[in-house]
Amino acid sequence: MSPAAYPTDWNAMSLPALFDALCRADAEDAVTRALREDLGDAGDITSAACFGPNDRGRAKIVSRADGVLAGIRVAEIVAARAGLSLRVHVEDGARVGRGTPIATVEGPLLALLSHERTMLNFLTLLSGNATLAAQFIDAVRGTRAAISDTRKTTPGLRTLQKYATRCGGATLHRIGLFDAALFKDNHLGAFGGDSLAARAREAAIRARSAAPLAFVECEVDTLAQLDEILSLEQGILDMVLLDNMDPGTLGEAVRRRDTRAPWIKLEASGGVRLDTVRRIAASGVDRISVGALTHSASALDLGLDLMIDHASDHASDHTTDRTTDRTTDGAPR
């Protein structure tokens, strides 16, 4: 998809529509790369030494902890590549508890074992992003503030991690440098003009003329800079990023915005943690951007419980279900 084709509001889309429009092509590519790095040219030597082509099995993907699920659509792509059947029990965006069955996978045992780690890697990573997003959402519930992600994502997994934060209830910020403009001090400090407001105005007009944009935003570090930006006429900027301001200063920024330019949305950034986000939200800002959603989330503990149907047992019309011993996340390392 070309940058110009990006819609301006990903946040209005349902999760299935968002995945198809934003993530599916990237997910297909990410799965290709993940399988190549794990299987190489020789494939799963360990499993091939243990099982034949007629050995089949079933496995359940199970949550080992409380969290929010994200990545089941990616797991479906992995299963399809392996020729496995995957039956989904819980959809992306759902809250899960310890012991919740997520999905059942069935098919050739060699294919199942050689693809389980890739499935779980995507699921645990993305569910971790979704779970942390949900924790921040819970922390600011009852305030006006939306929790937003950032561009601080794992290289190559940008759209998947942003989709995951939406699964947790977060608001998507810009997808990349191409679909919105955010002028920071490094931009405007080197940009010609007599005042911050003049520089921001000219840069915003240039940006809007270059491409369809989701929004145009400018960063400020002080209330004096904010006063300059609030002097701009409506239609120049959509948002102002308040960088590293304490809650008291943020509250004053909100008061000045409400008085002088109520059409501007205010976004707080910097020093945002689960133990500080409630105080930041109480200032009245509209958005709080949190880089930790994608760069510091812990993987959600999901495991895979394997049940083997031996080919020889099929011959006698007898099925043996056996749950194997696993590592802490339920699968071989």
Q: Please state, in angstroms and as integers, the Cα–Cα distance from residue 113 to each residue in 15, 84, 273, following that order.
A: 29, 11, 38
Q: Who contacts 224 (Cβ-Cβ below 8 Å, separation ≥6)?
A: none
Annotated catalytic residue: which of 152, 208, 256, 265? Answer: 152
Residue 121 has pLDDT above 70, yes or no: yes
* 263 three-class SS: coil
Q: What is the pLDDT of residue 1?
A: 43
**Cβ–Cβ < 8 Å for 168, 129:** yes
Q: Which distant-in-sequence residues (6+ apart) come within 8 Å of 305 by Cβ? A: 59, 60, 62, 323, 324, 326, 330
Beta carbons within 10 angstroms of residue 109's beta carbon: 23
Active site residue 243: yes
DSSP 171: B
pLDDT score for 192: 60
> Which of the four pLDDT bands, split at 50, 70 and 90, describes residue 179?
very high
- The yes-or-no verdict on residue 9 having pLDDT over 60 is yes
Coil, helix or strand at residue 262: coil
Q: What are the tens digits of pLDDT across the range 242-298?
A: 999 999 999 999 999 999 999 999 999 998 999 999 999 999 999 999 999 999 999
Q: Residue 307 — pLDDT band, cuts 50, 70, 90?
A: confident
Residue 52 burial by Cβ neighbours in a 10 Å radius (0-12, 13-18, 19+): exposed
**315 band by pLDDT with thresholds 50, 70 and 90:** very low
How many Å apart are CA 191 and CA 193, to the nearest integer? 7
Of 9 and 106, more confident: 106
What distance separates the 2 farthest-apart alpha carbons in the chain? 87
* pLDDT grade for 316, boundaries at 50, 70 and 90: very low
Spell out the domains of the chain, with CATH numbers in brackets. Answer: 3-130+298-315 (3.90.1170.20), 171-289 (3.20.20.70)
pLDDT score, position 185? 83
> Tell me, what's the pLDDT at 325?
32
**pLDDT score of 188:** 77
The alpha carbon of 122 is separated from its chain's Cα centroid by a whole number of angstroms, namely: 11
Distance in angstroms (rounded) separating the CA atoms of residues 50 and 166: 41
Catalytic residue among 24, 81, 151, 184: 184
106 given a catalytic annotation: no
317 labelled catalytic: no
**Which of the residues 44, 219, 238, 301 is marked catalytic?**
219
pLDDT in tens, 87-101: 999 999 999 999 999
How many Cβ atoms from other residues are within 10 Å of residue 25's Cβ? 12
Write the DSSP assignment of 16-49 as a string of letters: HHHIIIIIHHHHHHHHHHHHHHHHTTT--HHHHH
Which of 73, 117, 174, 257 is labelled catalytic? 117
Two structure tokens written together for 67: 């969290």
CA distance 143 to 268: 14
Residue 228 a catalytic site member: no
Whether 6 shows a pLDDT value over 90: the answer reads no
Count of other CB atoms within 10 angstroms of residue 315: 9
* pLDDT > 90 fraction of the chain, expressed in percent and rounded: 85
Annotated catalytic residue, options 55, 92, 217, 243? 243
The predicted structure's pLDDT at residue 193: 62
Please tell me the total number of residues recorded for the chain in this structure: 333
Amino acid sitting at position 11: N
At 8, the pLDDT band (50, 70, 90 cuts) reads low
Whether residue 3 has pLDDT greater than 70: no
Helix (H) or strand (E) holding 217: strand 216-220
Q: Is the dihedral of CA 23, 115, 64, 96 positive or negative?
A: positive
pLDDT in tens, 62-85: 999 999 999 999 999 999 999 999
